[in-house]
Amino acid sequence: MTTTEPSTGNLLSLQSHILSEESRYPGAAGDFTWIVSAISLAGKAIAHQVRRARLEGVLGEQGATNVQGESQQRMDVIANAILMRCLGSRASIAVVASEEDDQPTILRKGTDGGKYCVLFDPLDGSSTLDTNGAVGTIFSILRNDPLVESAEATVCQVGRRQVAAGYILYGPSTAFVITTGAGVDLFELDPFIGSFILVKRSLRVPSARKVYSVNEAYTSSFPAGYRNYLAWAHANNYSSRYIGSLVADTHRILLNGGVFIYPPTVSHPDGKLRLLYEANPIAMIMEQAGGKSFCGATPTLDVNPRKLHQRVPLVLGSADEVDAVMRHL
């Protein structure tokens, strides 16, 4: 039976799990549990919308571009609005920042109880939705520094300082993967009871899996090191798996092992993926599961952010498979 807490056979919801995690910290007021519960509520609402998107005629482009010059899908806008509505009422959130919005939104000041910042990509991989592809929400939770003046400066924190991070994958089932800095746990939505139920505690990313995940069509525009790695992988009987949806590719690597690579390219010379709400949360998950993540030569979690929508090149996955890439760079 999959809907039982693996070690005890007991049923444990995401909410109870986070409550018990938070109770380990003396003086914790439960604020963090409220935030995760808002994200899980948004995840359930987005999962529902994703399942009904074609029936409701909300697939396809919105007809607008976001601040990064990318065309927004209608579902990007819907998912963003759902997250904003769910997070907006949580009293301890100071700032929220989304891939879809130019600037972070200040909900309340530190002096009014704003303790945390929540950064997210509401619906990553949304261009695959038209063909029923798996998509996901990625989130990063940071402490709010009340002394920092601008909202953008507040959220530009090094990834190592994340309090928690995770993603929700809307695939054949809805998976919720989270770390609060003490390992990585996997929950699955039981749609009949409306709860995320713990299915795997302390996930470890498997090693020695010869699988890489990269958009190989861009190979000719990759820097030489990445091309050398691919030539080496071809000569060493590697397989290739690429969904084109970061959350789905990450989830496969977390469970099966392998390495995800998004190098700098001619069209994205700094890499395509965004540091603060894509690379950092996924990197925290990978490191907490025993894997690794790098942006160029720097561990992703040590990159100093300069701006909210900063892009980075990314290599992440099983420790040994990441090492194999890094040896070529």
8 Å CB contact between 292 and 316: yes
70's contact among Mg ion, ligand AHM, none, with CB below 5 to 8 A by partner kind, is: ligand AHM
Report residue 314 as tokens.
């990314």
Binding to Mg ion (CB under 5 A) within 105-134 occurs at: 121, 124
**Closer by beta carbon to ligand AHM, 18 or else 261:** 261
245's contact among Mg ion, ligand AHM, none, with CB below 5 to 8 A by partner kind, is: ligand AHM
Write each residue from 210 to 249 as x if it is in contact with ligand AHM (CB under 6 A), else as -, in one continuous string. Answer: -----x----------------------------xxx---
CA distances from 97 to 136, 257, 328 (A): 17, 31, 35
**Closer by beta carbon to ligand AHM, 21 or else 124:** 124
**Closer by beta carbon to ligand AHM, 97 or else 198:** 97
Q: Terminal CA-to-CA distance of the chain, rounded, Å?
A: 44
Report residue 162 as tokens.
């994340």
**Pick from 249, 200, 232, 237: which is nearest to 327 by CA?**
232
8 Å CB contact between 7 and 17: no
Report the nearest approach of ligand AHM to the CB of residue 47 (Å): 17
Report the nearest approach of ligand AHM to the CB of residue 298 (Å): 20
Name the packing angle between helices 246-256 and 280-288 (round to 10°). 10
Report residue 49 as tokens.
């919308």
Report the nearest approach of Mg ion to the CB of residue 124 (Å): 4
66's contact among ligand AHM, Mg ion, none, with CB below 5 to 8 A by partner kind, is: none
8 Å CB contact between 205 and 289: yes
Q: How many residues bind ligand AHM (CB under 6 A)?
A: 11
Summarize as ranges the residues that interact with ligand AHM (CB under 6 A): 70, 99, 121, 124-126, 215, 244-246, 272
